[in-house]
Amino acid sequence: MIDDIYKDAEQRMAKTINVMRDNFGKIRTGRASTSLLAHVTVDYYGSQVPISQAANVSVEDARTISINPWEKTMVQPIEKAIMSADLGLNPSTAGQVIRVVLPPLTEDRRRDLVKVIRAEAEDGRVAVRNIRRDANSTLKELVSEKEISSDDQHAGETRIQQLTDKHIDRIDSLLEDKEQEIMTV
């Protein structure tokens, strides 16, 4: 029973880390990456799909993303989707190929991005702590229902705290790596 609570908390904490990693991937570092456009959707025959399902998205060089739509009619919708995604990117079209050139990041913009990722990391830490709180309250309920002993509760809380510490250390490590990546000119 305690193992089930532990496994559930572990899975939920791992999901939190994955969401945070995805959110970090959306934050520009000045280098071109196809992940910048991963969450941008375009209307493709009546349904919203990621750009990668309507076009070939590739990195042309360190500062340029190239988008080659599979159909000529998709050039305008893809261009509009990128502009309306509020990424600060301006696509330019040459025939059927859309190029997105990433402007260089200024020092102020880099500092702003660091603030954004720190806030994102703090949200991740809070989520992990909330998962710990939920697991510990479940253990307390089991003690009050006399399904486990208080010694089992303390052992379970210790395991969950160790799990929490491990995941918060992982968040801090990801934050440090992303800060380094952003501040590198």
pLDDT confidence band for 89 (50 / 70 / 90)? confident
User: What is the arithmetic mean of pLDDT over 127-146?
Assistant: 94
Q: To which residue do tokens 């992990």 refer?
A: 128
pLDDT tens, position by position, 172-184: 999 999 998 888 7
Residue 125, pLDDT > 90, answer yes
pLDDT tens digit string along 38-88?
A: 788 898 888 889 988 889 999 988 888 999 999 888 899 999 888 887 677
Q: Which residue segments constitute the domains of the chain, with CATH numbers given?
A: 2-26+106-183 (1.10.132.20), 34-101 (3.30.1360.40)
